[in-house]
Structures are given as structure tokens and as C-alpha cells.
Amino acid sequence: MSAKARIGIIGCGAIASEIVKAAVVGMINADIVALMDIYPEKCERLAKMLEKKPEIYQTDIDEFLKHDMDYVVEAASQEAVREYGEKVLRRGINLVVLSVGALLDAELLERLRAIARDTGAHIYAPTGAIAGLDAIRALRLVGINRVALRTIKPPKSLGAKVSEPTVLYRGPAREAVKRFPFNVNVAAALSLAAGKEAEVEVIADPNTTKNTHVIIVESVASKLEIKIENTPSPENPRTSWLAALSVIELLRRLTGREEVVIGS
């Protein structure tokens, strides 16, 4: 068995909890060595689940990064990516970004890429709450003409109070991730995979309990129409359960738990 990877997590909410559970049962071949959150009590809750107790930090990123780590998982916010991403990569530590919306800031993305090239670190973004990104990346090779995303969620998860299905936003992904920073990171992942900014529609629907995403991609080689209906995370209704599972699957691959790799 290969040596365990060493992982630090920034942001100790619902998805971090799922990552820690996966490490405890051996689903990912890793030790969680450091946790960081502006609310340290959240870290304490996760630390109790682990046999080897990780170090806990509140805001001191420099002390956090003194640990020998293979990966830092950002599970906090787009602001955390902007504030800490460059420092993580400068240490040569691989960065797993969950708040992918931050990467639609072209200047930030280029800075992160430049540092990663210099240090040999990598930036990873899980597929999140959607599917088909491998096929979309493949279509990018011959050109993509149109990318569209319709997201439908219960009003509560979008912070809306409506009595009937209501369009809260219609426009480019870049603006969508600013208006809904915790809800439509999938728009950023989709845009980055396609190499073309997605047209986004966000709908609050009081008649649904699911988080639904409809993706349309048009290319000379293929037309994709993908519908995903996700159950909200048991720990956080704003987060799709699939989003947490996609992070775990990415970490399984990165830490050597997958002997046969299907898809890209």
C-alpha cells in the first residue's frame, strides 16, 4: 500500500465533515493533519472524529502551511481562495478548490497558474454537483459554440422568499458566482471545462426539494443535454450531496485508492 497522503482542510463545514469521515473509514488514503476555520469549534468537532488529532488554526495561514502537506482542500469560500490560494501554491502544496467560482476571476486564475508552474504544484477542481465535464473537455478540442446552465433550487437554499417558481438571475456565469457564491460554483466548473463562459439561469422553486441542474452544450462534434437532480446534503441544504461525494472521489484518485481509472 502506498504511503498515506497528508491533507489540510480550510473550512470545516459540511463538505469537510464528509472528507474527514472518508479518511476515517479508509475511503481515501490520507491523514488529515491540519484544520483551519474562522470558527475553531467547527474544527474541534471534526478533530474528535480522528484518531490522530490534527492541529487547529483560526486565521494563521502561515502556521497552518508549516505542516508537511501534499494537498490543501479549500472548502470555505471564494474569498478563501483569493486570500490563501497563492500562499498554498508557493509552498509547493497541491490545492483542491471547491469554491470554483473564484477561478472565473481571470487575473486570479492566471496568478495561481503562474505560481503552480513555478513550484510544480497543481490546482484541482472537483466536478461538484454536476456531471459530464469529461465529455465537455473533450468537445473543447474541436470548439464549443454554446454552453448553458439552468439551476433550480428550493427558495431557502437561495435565500429567497417566493410563492411560485421565480427566475432570480439570468446572465453570464461570471456574475452568477458573485451573486450566489455558495450556490452556483457549478457554473464556474462548467465554464472552465468548456473554455467558454456559460449562460446561467437561476430559479427558486417552492415546489421542489431537489437541487436541479440542466446543462446544454453545443459543438460541431456533439450536442449534450444533461439533467442532474441532486438531494441536498444532510448537513447543509445549500450543498448538494453529490458535490461532497465528488470531492471524495477526486481525493480517492489523488491518494491512490483507484486501481482502474474510468474517464478523465
* pLDDT for residue 234: 80
The architecture of the domain spanning 133-236 is: 2-Layer Sandwich (3.30)
Say what percent of the chain tops pLDDT 70: 98
pLDDT of 147 above 80:
yes
pLDDT of 192 above 60:
yes
| Residue 138, φ and ψ in degrees, nearest 5 | -65, -40
* pLDDT for residue 242: 94
pTM of the model: 0.94
User: Would you say 109 and 166 are in contact if contact means Cβ atoms under 8 Å apart?
Assistant: no
User: Would you say 130 and 228 are in contact if contact means Cβ atoms under 8 Å apart?
Assistant: yes
**What's the grid cell of residue 129?**
454537483
pLDDT of 112 above 90:
yes
* pLDDT for residue 34: 98
Write the pLDDT tens digit of every residue in 218-257. 999 999 999 999 998 887 777 889 999 999 999 999 998 6
Confidence of residue 21 (pLDDT cuts 50, 70, 90): very high
Helices 185-194, 133-140: crossing angle, 10 deg rounding: 30
**What's the grid cell of residue 215?**
446543462
Write the pLDDT tens digit of every residue in 56-73. 999 899 999 999 999 999
**What's the grid cell of residue 15?**
463538505
170: nearest Cα among 131, 203, 132, 139:
203
| Residue 36, φ and ψ in degrees, nearest 5 | -145, 135
Rounded mean pLDDT of 157-162? 94
* pLDDT for residue 236: 76
Confidence of residue 100 (pLDDT cuts 50, 70, 90): very high
Q: Is 124 exposed, middle or buried (0-12, 13-18, 19+ CB in 10 A)?
A: middle
Confidence of residue 264 (pLDDT cuts 50, 70, 90): low
* pLDDT for residue 116: 98
Q: How far is CA 199 from CA 65, 149, 172, 252, in A?
A: 37, 6, 5, 32
The architecture of the domain spanning 5-128+243-254 is: 3-Layer(aba) Sandwich (3.40)
What CA–CA distance (Å, rounded) separates 100 from 85?
Answer: 12
pLDDT of 2 above 90:
no
CA 134 to chain CA centroid, Å, is 16
Chain region(s) in the chain for CATH 3.40.50.720: 5-128+243-254
pLDDT of 1 above 70:
no
Starting at the edge strand found earlier in the chain, the sheet holding 211-219 runs: 166-172, 199-204, 144-153, 211-219, 223-230
Catalytic position from the list 6, 42, 213, 238: 213
Rounded mean pLDDT of 187-214? 97
The number of beta carbons lying within 10 Å of the beta carbon of residue 51 is: 6
User: Would you say 154 and 212 are in contact if contact means Cβ atoms under 8 Å apart?
Assistant: no
Chain region(s) in the chain for CATH 3.30.360.10: 133-236
pLDDT of 55 above 60:
yes
**Looking at per-residue confidence, does 183 or 5 come out higher?**
5
Is residue 67 annotated as part of the catalytic site, yes or no? no
pLDDT of 92 above 80:
yes
| Residue 2, φ and ψ in degrees, nearest 5 | -70, 155
The residue with cell 502551511 is: 65
**What's the grid cell of residue 90?**
508557493
